[in-house]
Each structure stands twice: as structure tokens, then as C-alpha cells.
Structure 1
Amino acid sequence: MSPKQHWLDAGYHGAELIVAAREQHGTQIIGPVRLNNNWSGQHVPGFDLRSFEIQWQHRQVVCPQGQTSVAWTSTARKNGQALINVRFAKESCRPCPVRAQCIRSGDRAKSLKFQPQAQQEARYAARDAIKDPLAQQLYHRRAGIEGTLSQGVRAFGLRRCQYIGEQKTRLQHVLTAMAINVVRLDAWMIGERPIGTKHSRFARLQVA
């Protein structure tokens, strides 16, 4: 039975996974997705992809100044990830009064790359959702999972299966989880308590 929600960090989170988990398993993927690191997304003031209106049905994009793209091409990255390339006309971009906020090149026209509609809209929704204070509070539930995984790997050999076969592997993982619970319960009974998040010396100086 698939979980209703799956909380992931940015290293595993992606638009393709969001769509596939929802369509194939009915699972909602929650967590931060990678930010837009393009120059236009970091430059302030600047026009990132969300500043452009993507008209999916007409296969065109309208820029913040009202200019419409002249080319729409479906392609893919080397890893097979589907992409859409969009290009505007030089005649529209060269005289644009806000060109400096959109593109650094002095001559070429603006071009954009983005994913197909389902994936792109899923990426937008994920970025918006994680900004919600309630979502951030719920995401704190995941804070201890990295320590749990580290304990499972280092103390219980979680990454090395002793048997062959999916069912035997699952049984080993269940027994490993039980063993971690027993060890932690024993530590709690003898008075050991979690020490919380460790901070570097530099971070402690900032707090002081």
C-alpha cells in the first residue's frame, strides 16, 4: 500500500517525481524543490520564468512587456528529461526598454527552457506550498530522519542485505527498524536524551 504523503528533501525532490508519484501511486510528494539558479532568477530586479505567461494550448509564451514568442520546440536533456525551448524575436528584444532585467547578451533574443505543463506546474505548486508556515511546521517532522538513517547504516548495516529477494529484503528492513526502536527505548530508559541540533562554533558565536 502506497503512503498518502512522502516527505523528501531537495536532493530527491523533482517535478517528474511529483507527477509520477501522484499518477502512479496516489502519493503526494512534499518538500522543497531546487530553486531557480539562472541569472534572471537571481538578478534583482529581474524577470524569472514565472514572470512570463506560458500559454500551453497555443504553444507560445508572452513576456512581461507583452511580446509573444516566435518559436516553440520540444526537446530533451541527455538524461531523457523532456524540455520545451521557446525563443523570442530579435526585433522584439533588441529595443525592449527593460532588456537589462531580462537578458545579459547585447544582441541575441530571449530564450527560455522549461518542462512540460504537468511537471512545470507541479514545480511551481511545490515551491509555493513549502513557503506556507503550516507546511514548514509539518516539514519539521522530517528533521530526525537523517539521524535515523545514519544510525541504521552505521550501526545496523542497513545498506547491505543479507538475503536475495524483495520479500526477504523487506523483512530485514522491518527487523532493522524494530532493532533501532529497541536500542533507542533502552537508551531512553537509562536516562539518555537527544541532544538536539548541533551548531558549529561560528554559529554559537553568532547566537552569543
Structure 2
Amino acid sequence: MATTSAAVDDSTQVQPTHDDPDRRGLTPGEHLVDGGYTSALIVLAARAQGIDLIGPLPPASDRRTREAKGFALTDFAIDWDAKSATCPRGEKSRYWGTTHVDGQPRTVVIFPEYGCRNCRVRPACTSGFTRRLTLHPREEHELLQRQRAEQNTDAWKQRYAKRAGVEGTICQAVRATGIRPSRYRGHAKTGLAHVFSDQPPPHGRTPHRAPRRHHPPHPLRRPRPRSQTQQEDTHTPSLNRATESRSAGRQAQLPHGRARRWGGVR
């Protein structure tokens, strides 16, 4: 059980969650998580501790992969030893370098402009004059390609189906204890409430529906005094009724034809 600020990314809590049972010699062999707790770096770190982290990895972020049109990253052949890449048309890259994205190392591959400019399938590859690839480090890249292909198989989906039971248990506990909004101020009190809510009930089963609770108002939250405008708004219904009555009386005194034109009938 870990209580953090709402601004903390969920993926940062995977490593502390694995370190705690590892110190006590209770390292799990398998850990089922959702997509918010997975990345190539996190999966590799878990495997270094002997934990098989199972969860859907996010798809590649390039536009061709998102739109499922044209040549995606998986269509390029990467030769890590020769430090070059080959496009589906057989053109080899002209540049291989390194950079950093959000503090993480990345490999940049650029294809020659003269080859891309005269390519007949360039609209299916890039909207610019040349194609540019941004790759993870080799070990992460190969893991991403392998696991993204594996998670589309029926065997992986059947193995990951157990996660639905975990999500159902979490949902039932949250609804039964009502811990989604914190009732306390401060990290320490909120964390203690989370620990208590994580304990099973005496009868061994969590109720399906949380009982209705009526919490008294907070002593520091005093009701705001009504402004002059709000006090005047209380008389609005009677003023509206009086205005409608006067309008109806004026229409009754007008000739029949003019009243019909005002009503929208010509």
C-alpha cells in the first residue's frame, strides 16, 4: 500500500512495489498490471529481479502507426551492429546518431533526402523530404517489438485475462470503503486510512454496495453569507409573474390582427 501525491506518475511506483517483497524474500514470479504501469525500461528492471511483468505496452507513437496507414516503424529493418536501417524500398539510412528524449537515451536514424525525394511511395512513408526514425536502446527496442506482437495473440490475452479479476476486486473495495475522495487532510492521515481500508472485513467478504454516509460539515468550512444580489434573486419569481400579467393585459387591449402578428402568425 503506497499513498502518493496525485501528481506522481503511477509507473514510478512499480519499482518500490517490487523492492519491498524482494527485501523480505517474497519476490513474486508474475505481476499483472494495466497499461499505466508498463514501459520497456520497467519490464527490463522487473526481469532483472526475476519478476515477469505482464501488461499491455503502449503502441509506437509515430503517426503511421497511429493511423495504421503507410510504412510504420516495424516495416524498417534495423541493423544494430552495422548502425544502419533499411526502408521497405531497400534504401539505406545515411545518419545514425544518439540523442536524449525526456532524459532517456534514444537513437536517431535519418534516410538520405535524394532517395526519399524521388521515391514513388514517399506519401505512404513521410510528409517531409526524408524519413526520420527515433529508436529506443537496442535491448528496449527488441523487447518492444517482440512484446507488442505477442500481446496480440490469443495465448497472451488468455494469460492476461486474470487481470480482470484483480480490477474487479479493486473496484469492489473502492466502492465499499468509499476511499476515492480523501476524508482527511495531510499525507499521513490519508495513508493510514488507505491501510485500514485495505484490511478485509470480519465476515470475510466485501459488501457489494457502500452504505450511505452523511458526513457533518467541516468546522473550518463556514457557510458564506448571502450577497445582496442573491437576496434579491429570491423575489425574482414574483416579479416575473407580475411582468407576465401586465404583458398579457396589454395584448388583450390591442386589435386582434396586431396581437396575431406579435404571436408569430401573419
- Match for residue 92 of structure 1 among 110, 115, 138: 115
RMSD: 2.8
**Cα deviation, residue 146, structure 1:** 2.6
1:114 aligns with 135
Q: SS at the partner of 2:64?
A: helix
- Match for residue 105 of structure 2 among 82, 86, 95: 82
**Cα deviation, residue 180, structure 1:** 8.7
1:196 aligns with none
| Structure label with greater radius of gyration | 2
Contact preservation (8 Å) 1:152, 1:180: no
1: CA distance between counterparts of 2:37 and 2:202?
A: 24
Contact preservation (8 Å) 1:32, 1:130: yes
> Structure 1 unaligned runs (5+)?
164-168, 193-208
**Cα deviation, residue 81, structure 1:** 2.1
1:67 aligns with 91
Contact preservation (8 Å) 1:43, 1:101: no
- The yes-or-no answer on 1:41 pairing with 2:65 is yes
Show the 5 A alignment for 1:1-208: 1-23=26-48, 25-43=49-67, 45-78=69-102, 80-105=103-128, 108-153=129-174, 155=177, 160-162=190-192, 172=195, 176-179=198-201, 182-184=204-206
2: CA distance between counterparts of 1:181 and 1:101?
A: 62
**How many residues were matched structurally?**
175
From the superposition, tell whether residues 55 and 146 of structure 1 become closer, same or farther in structure 2 (CA, over 3 Å): same
From the superposition, tell whether residues 104 and 180 of structure 1 become closer, same or farther in structure 2 (CA, over 3 Å): farther
TM-score w.r.t. length of structure 1: 0.73
**Cα deviation, residue 181, structure 1:** 8.1
**Cα deviation, residue 46, structure 1:** 0.9
From the superposition, tell whether residues 71 and 150 of structure 1 become closer, same or farther in structure 2 (CA, over 3 Å): same
2: CA distance between counterparts of 1:100 and 1:115?
A: 25
The structure, 1 or 2, with the larger RCO (C-alpha pairs under 8 Å, 6+ apart) is: 1
Instruction: Tell me the percent identity.
Output: 29
TM-score w.r.t. length of structure 2: 0.58
From the superposition, tell whether residues 44 and 145 of structure 1 become closer, same or farther in structure 2 (CA, over 3 Å): closer
Amino acid at match of 1:141: K
Higher alpha-carbon deviation: 143-152 or 63-72: 143-152
